[in-house]
Structure 1
Amino acid sequence: MVDADHDSWGRLDRRARAGIPAETYLDPDDPPRRGQYLPFGNGRSYGDSCHSDAGILIENVRRDRILSFDPGTGLIRCEAGVTLRAVLERAIARRFFLPVTPGTADVTIGGAIANDVHGKNHHARGTFGRHVTRLVLRRSDGTQMVCSPGENVDFFRATIGGMGLTGLILTADIQLMKVPSPHIQQHAVRFDSLDDYFSIVDRMDQEHEYSVAWIDQLATGRAMGRGVLLAGDHADGSCEFPDLPGKRRLSVPVSPPFNMLNRVTLRAFNELYYRKEKPGETVKTVKWPGYFYPLDAIGGWNRLYGPRGLYQHQSVYPAENAPEITARLMETARQAGHASFLTVLKRFGSEPSPGLFSFPRGGFTLTLDFANQGPATTALLDRLDHIVTAAGGAINPYKDARMSPETFAASFPDWRALEALRDPDMMSNFWARTAMKLQK
């Protein structure tokens, strides 16, 4: 029952953890003992929201059947362990696509709902939860309920973004999006500074379904905040790429003994990435895996950060002071001697999620990845938290592994509403070190 493979994607706290198959947990002839449990999907959360060291993880990834798919409407029903990749492989042939997808296709449907994930088109379509029409939830007392916008509404809202704390999701209905092609007509705009980005982002967001910017976090002076904005729309039906391009071929089989993504290597990478795009706007058609999931092409890429793992810091803050806050966050990291490999900046739209506990909200979101350097890194992250919360922003809980209870409360002042609907037997390391400490 004890398995060392229940890592989170950040690989910060690697240890053997107890887990049982979902079928064992659901066995009516051998019900589980009362205690602490937590659903576990495919381990793509960066922090400790997918861990329960005081309890047992329910391995839901093996429940991976697509139960039905209507090729006329695009409504798909599947078990919670189905990955987004499996949904796409089924839907693309009928010219449907996920209406919202995060940066990896290896997330399970249950994980996408529990974290109410967002994508490059949040400004246009909101979070994943907005496209869930129905789910079936199993509580630890054996109660099984259908939840939707019209039935068991409180549990429906609490489960979307509820990080697995309301119970085990069994199945979900997702409304997919009709597209002429899965591939993307990409508009790449190279910009020379952070001010240049903010001068073009309004237009790009209004004109395109997708919009996200890569930022060179190490650039200074006039080039501070330079980067590439990658906007896009689904290509027309004449696109000649195969619907399902070949599988990934590269992988990082073991973790190197040191961090390979350091300031020296990242400075060189940033220069190459910035220069590979021509000045101005370049338009071309790209395959959907490369646009939505570029890092999925490299299996185990998180191992490149070395044996101590990585922290990801994602924040959201109001649009009115976004240029100033973005610059302060990046400069604070530089002054602390930390280099971010994946520095991503985008706008969140104002469309609210149906979820009770959803991270995205109107404003701008900045994502920074840092190799774990011990106390120096956690001290930096605390400073970043303070900058964001002082500006009225929030920190993403399912990317986090160390925020304080006070930062959590500032980010989610209504957290007690989720606690009131939490399954009493469901507990995560994250909830134990934040919400539960606030109750004492």
Structure 2
Amino acid sequence: MIQEETYDVAVIGAGAAGLAAAAETAGAGRSTVVIDREELPGGILRQCIHNGFGINYFKEELTGPEYATRITRIAEEAGAVFALGSAVTDVKRLPDNRFGLVALSAERGVVRYTARAVILAMGCRERTRGNLAVPGTRPAGIYTAGSAQKLLNRDGALPGTSAVIVGSGDIGLIMARRLRWCGIEVKAVIEIMPQPSGLPRNIAQCLDDFGIPLYLEHAVTNIGGAKRVEYVDVAPLADGIPDASKTFRIQCDTLLFSVGLVPENELSRQLGVELNPATGGARVDSGFQTSVPGVFAGGNVLHVHDLVDFVSEEAALAAKAALRYLDGAPPPERNRVRVEANLKYVVPGYFSRNLNTVFSFRPLITADAAQLTARLDGEIVWKRRLRGIRPAEMIKVELPGTLLNRSGDLVFSLETELEA
């Protein structure tokens, strides 16, 4: 028999975002279910055994499992119900404007959930070798950085004896250090960009401290090996194209890919949510509501964050907006937010007049100093000088509602020529 349950809020995903959102809605007295395909809550945090989490959100430095345990406990004590080991296979808006979700689990079979609001918190997935189309054989020993992290930290198994890491994303950098701690030789980190993709502190602590070479503007051009990886060929890039004449070979038995993350938005597409091609996530307003009324999004399903603390903070804001929706607040005004010079994207994609709004940006440049400027309907309403601009680090600023006091397009730009 198909079971049916009804809640005020359905949160899809029990990672840092989903747990923070559930704590808000359940804590406000709204019946909340958190649905996740994993058997335990906490998401990727449970395999991140290094510290550095929670400094902003909990005002204390924690490991990933400690952060996951703490935020899970907060959501549980607030009254959230957990449906774990359950995969949401279908979600849609019903004729009465509620939402219907279908979840499958080994323990309960098919469960149908009905909710008045949905919070999307599915997180993101890693890009793989297939996304890069790296040529060569297809032997054992090729992993994403996250899968190798899970293998090592949760399953207690060594992925190999000598490794090369493709991409300088933060997970890959942290895994370089973790592999060295376990006695695995890390031969090199290969990055196609002229600057690292990860945070500077991870470059220093995970590569420099261990003498692991970082090859910028290089690419793996071939993977060799029969049953197991035996070597990779690497070449420097000239105008983005590998220079075959300068190819060199690195012997290794393990290859890790840390080449970026992709927001998990298959369910968002089912709902008809408008997506932002620059982020891969939903285009949301200042309350993190998507183009579908009653559907909210926060965390890495919206855009890939640097810090888990920001994930939780953002999802909590989305949950507060969901509470306003449930209380019958009128639909927010939606004025477009755009980016121009040297910025890849901005979240949220819309603002409401007279409402304090936190904006998040991903810069496209590396600069010691730059000026972030906001123009509303063509007029400069705000500007700030920033230091240490890097694509690996997200920029977050809050604009007071007193500046956002009229309709029109809000346009942000990042300029290295500083104005007085």
TM-score range, shorter chain: under 0.3
| Higher RCO, Cα 8 Å, sep 6+ | 1
Give 1 or 2 for the bigger CA radius of gyration: 2
Decide which structure has greater strand share: 2
TM-score (norm. length: structure 2):
0.24
